Structure 1
């Protein structure tokens, strides 16, 4: 089969080649990949800054895929040939709390990912793709949508009328705005671009803040919330900006730490964290059970993914370059 192979770190070392077409073993599905979507994790893996010790070489990258089951292994009962399915990043995290080693069983590293004509997904890990979505749309769900859903619903326990702040206009952030608005929450969004801020208003954001114009954006968030702060904040930036996130969150509020765009380390000021009694929780996607519940919600609320651009299979490198520039929504690669 045709496959993109990461032979070493660096985008120049991601090359289109061939790999053996995998065969499903007991309990496994052979999926003809229709489309994949890129996340910051995929870029970080190629760049060599995301658990590089776990990355096999060569590697078929990219965790998030949607496609059609074309063959099944012995004993498979959850799916049949012809069913459309999604991959699920943490292939063994099915329900409940995460185990200590979920990252060892992740698609796109160290397990082979979806940037190939075919991939293997265990039937227990696979998720039925929404009928109303194309493969290109469904491929955006496994990390971006599910991280937003888990942060808002499972961790954040967001209720109608509560407030949530989301940073930026990447894939997770756009889904957060759409889902939070559908849950009846007040959404405050930050970005460095006014055109993106105008666009997110149409997706459900109630208030917007340009953090380049207003570097002390947490003060503006406090003003917008009458000095209280938001009930829930999704931090995609990381770095020392976590201190601003704490200041922008209400006393007893919650922060879902889901990204590290500005740095993997932070100099945390503990006193505000302690005195405001803030819950700071690292979020690494979610179990499959949450994915199943989310897809029902997305269907019910008729939420459609926002896709910035769809690239051809041969344009995978260009897709990575687009991701590095900062898309509005998701970057997708059509495989077949």
Structure 2
């Protein structure tokens, strides 16, 4: 079968497509014929090296995928041949608290990922794809969707009427927009592109800030909220945007720290977080149970992942380059 492989830290163009021998699942495992995969910013960092706990070499890339069970190993009770499934992001994080050992099992970095024509998966490390959800849509959920869910609901306890600030229009932000609106929240979204802002507004964003026109965008956020600030910030930028995110939050607000997209060497003063009693918490995807709760919420609220563009399996490297260009709104998907 065909599989992609990362065996260096030389970036996207060093990713290889190789022939590998197919194997049968062992006890407690299933074989999944992959149908779709999607990209996250993490995948760019893994390809270039320097991502903590994601330095296994060689490794099959990408964490997010979906497919069909084609073979089951001895003792498997959760799945049967023909089931539509999606591997969870963190292979060994099923429920409850996470630890360092579980964090080393992120697909496509710590352990082999989904960018192969088939893969062997432990039976407990899969979730069922809801009826009516396509393979491409299911492949968009595991990292970005679960991260947004974890931030707003598992950690942040988002309530109706609260205000959520989202940075940019990537996968996490668009999932957070959809989920927040379904929960009855108000949403402010930022972008440097008026076209992307229009797209986000069409998806339900209540207010927006073009940060290229408003470099001190936290001040505009306060203007939009009557000087109160927001209840939640889904912070995907990292140190380069964190200071303004903290300044955008209102008293008692939550800053969900997810991203590493910008200026990793920036220095941040903690004082405003003290004066405004903020909760600042790192969010790193989530467990299988969070993934299942996220899918249940999407089903009840009829939320479909936003897919910007689809590439073929043979054009996976082109998909990487398109994703790296940051032209997308929502998810970039590879269909097999």
Report TM bin, short chain: over 0.9
SS in 2 for 1:101: helix
TM-score by length of 2: 0.97
- Please name the residue that 1:15 is paired with: 16
Question: Do the aligned partners of 1:22 and 1:118 also contact (CA within 8 Å) in 2?
Answer: no
Question: Do the aligned partners of 1:32 and 1:68 also contact (CA within 8 Å) in 2?
Answer: yes
Are 1:239 and 2:239 matched, yes or no?
A: yes
- Please name the residue that 2:294 is paired with: 294
TM-score by length of 1: 0.97
- Please name the residue that 1:80 is paired with: 80
How far does the alpha carbon of each residue in 1:77-114 deviate from its partner, in whole angstroms, 9 at most, with x for none? 11111101111111111111212232211111221111
How far does the alpha carbon of each residue in 1:169-220 deviate from its partner, in whole angstroms, 9 at most, with x for none? 0111111101100110000000010010011111111000000100111001
How far does the alpha carbon of each residue in 1:132-184 deviate from its partner, in whole angstroms, 9 at most, with x for none? 11111110000111111111111111111111001000111111101100110
CA gap of 1:54–1:236, structure 2 versus 1, over 3 A, is: closer
Structure 2 matches for 1:137-148, cutoff 5 A? 137-148=137-148
Shift of 1:54: 4.4
- Please name the residue that 1:283 is paired with: 283
- Please name the residue that 2:312 is paired with: 312
5+ unaligned residues in a row in structure 2: which ranges?
A: none
- Please name the residue that 2:224 is paired with: 224
Are 1:153 and 2:149 matched, yes or no?
A: no
CA gap of 1:181–1:320, structure 2 versus 1, over 3 A, is: same
- Please name the residue that 2:193 is paired with: 193
- Please name the residue that 1:96 is paired with: 96
Tell me how far apart the structure 2 counterparts of residues 263 and 284 of structure 1 sit (CA, whole Å): 19
Question: Do the aligned partners of 1:238 and 1:265 also contact (CA within 8 Å) in 2?
Answer: no
Question: Do the aligned partners of 1:60 and 1:115 also contact (CA within 8 Å) in 2?
Answer: yes
Question: Do the aligned partners of 2:46 and 2:54 also contact (CA within 8 Å) in 1?
Answer: no
- Please name the residue that 1:121 is paired with: 121
Tell me how far apart the structure 2 counterparts of residues 251 and 159 of structure 1 sit (CA, whole Å): 16
Question: Do the aligned partners of 1:4 and 1:60 also contact (CA within 8 Å) in 2?
Answer: yes
**More moved, 54-63 vs 213-222:** 54-63
Tell me how far apart the structure 2 counterparts of residues 168 and 124 of structure 1 sit (CA, whole Å): 34
How far does the alpha carbon of each residue in 1:32-78 deviate from its partner, in whole angstroms, 9 at most, with x for none? 00000000111110011313x74333221011110001111111111
Question: Do the aligned partners of 1:26 and 1:75 also contact (CA within 8 Å) in 2?
Answer: yes
**More moved, 95-104 vs 35-44:** 95-104
**More moved, 56-65 vs 294-303:** 56-65
CA gap of 1:117–1:280, structure 2 versus 1, over 3 A, is: same
Question: Do the aligned partners of 1:66 and 1:87 also contact (CA within 8 Å) in 2?
Answer: yes
Tell me how far apart the structure 1 counterparts of residues 152 and 259 of structure 2 sit (CA, whole Å): 15
Q: Please report the RMSD computed on the Cα atoms of aligned residues, expressed in angstroms.
A: 1.2
- Please name the residue that 1:213 is paired with: 213
- Please name the residue that 2:39 is paired with: 38
Shift of 1:20: 2.0
Shift of 1:265: 4.1
Shift of 1:266: 3.6
- Please name the residue that 1:27 is paired with: 28
SS in 1 for 2:35: strand
